[in-house]
Amino acid sequence: MDWIRYSDYEYEIDSEGSLYVKPKENASFSMYNPFNVANDLLIDFLKIGEAARVYFKNKDQAVYEELKRLVFLYAKKYGLLGLISASTYNYNVIGDEDVLLMKNNFIQQTERSIDVLTYMKLFTPFADKDDLSVMVYKNSVDLVKGEDSPKFYGKRPLVMDLIFSKFYAEKLDWIINFAGMLAEHFNQLLVYRASANYLTEHVTILADTFKANKIGFTINQLDKTTISWNFDSLKTTIEVIYAFAVTDENILLSRCEHCGDFYIALSNREKYCNPACRNRANVQKSRQRKSELEAQ
């Protein structure tokens, strides 16, 4: 499944004072397959999540600015998350009367259902009628876009036409909320892994946080047999890549014991993200040993 990214993004504040990230007016789009860059996609996102965890604790303005920078770079590299689709039980969203929201959504909605036009406005606060409009015909619904972005003509849910539009925007806070949860999950996982010898039964970390309800796939055969995924959003894609990364014994998503960066380890015994960190950690250890000896 391909996802969309635009060549440039910008921040804009809506009438209620929320900060959104959205494609720049003159930006052009390109498509890519998230699974071809799965490791980077995940590790870059966990970096945002780690900064988010720090920000949730100290509300430091400098950390917030760093988050803005990281999310901007992430959007340029991989596009927006597609939360308009990932937060509902509805399949097409557009054309429905009401939207049924998932319980633990990251878009700060506490109601169970919301009128669809209000919901759409939440993700397109800067678009007017000429930019985007929903046309309701006798037997069908269509999304008309005043720009040139991919249209799927019913091959994919109608909401995809909206997500892939230049007028689709997401709040910085939503992205931070989801990234923070994922990093929190991984950190808890590392704590449990370290104490795995003491666990006597299954531990579920942050139960009910993953809501990847709308995953589809086909099994394809060419020179080898592959899974072709069908996702409703980049958010769901990140969740699934994460789930495989932490459970696949050949991937080993880890955290460097020296600098704290996330990386893919080659074996269980590897503790550092690169040789430089291993050297620095060893120097630190030998200095420590030396000063301990001198103190005796």
Site size toward Zn ion, by CB under 5 A: 6
- Report, in Å, the least distance between residue 261 CB and Zn ion: 5
Q: Which of 82, 240, 256, 262 binds Zn ion (CB under 5 A)?
A: 256
71 binds Zn ion per the rule CB under 5 A: no
> 53 or 271: whose CB is closer to Zn ion?
271
> 38 or 273: whose CB is closer to Zn ion?
273
Task: Please tell me the distance from the alpha carbon of residue 269 to that of residue 267, in angstroms, as a whole number.
Answer: 5
Q: Which range of residues in 11-19, 178-186, 272-280, 281-289 is near Zn ion by CB under 5 A?
A: 272-280
Torsion of CA 35, 1, 236, 19, to 10 degrees: 100
- Report, in Å, the least distance between residue 186 CB and Zn ion: 16
Q: Which range of residues in 44-52, 83-91, 236-244, 266-274 is near Zn ion by CB under 5 A?
A: 266-274
Q: Which of 19, 259, 265, 281 binds Zn ion (CB under 5 A)?
A: 259
271 binds Zn ion per the rule CB under 5 A: no
258 binds Zn ion per the rule CB under 5 A: yes
273 binds Zn ion per the rule CB under 5 A: yes
* 229 conformational bin, left if phi > 0, alpha if psi -120 to 50, beta if neither: beta
280 binds Zn ion per the rule CB under 5 A: no
278 binds Zn ion per the rule CB under 5 A: no
46 binds Zn ion per the rule CB under 5 A: no
- Report, in Å, the least distance between residue 182 CB and Zn ion: 20
Look up residue 267 and give its amino acid. S
Look up residue 14 and give its amino acid. D
> 154 or 260: whose CB is closer to Zn ion?
260
Residues that bind Zn ion (CB under 5 A): 256, 258-259, 261, 273, 277
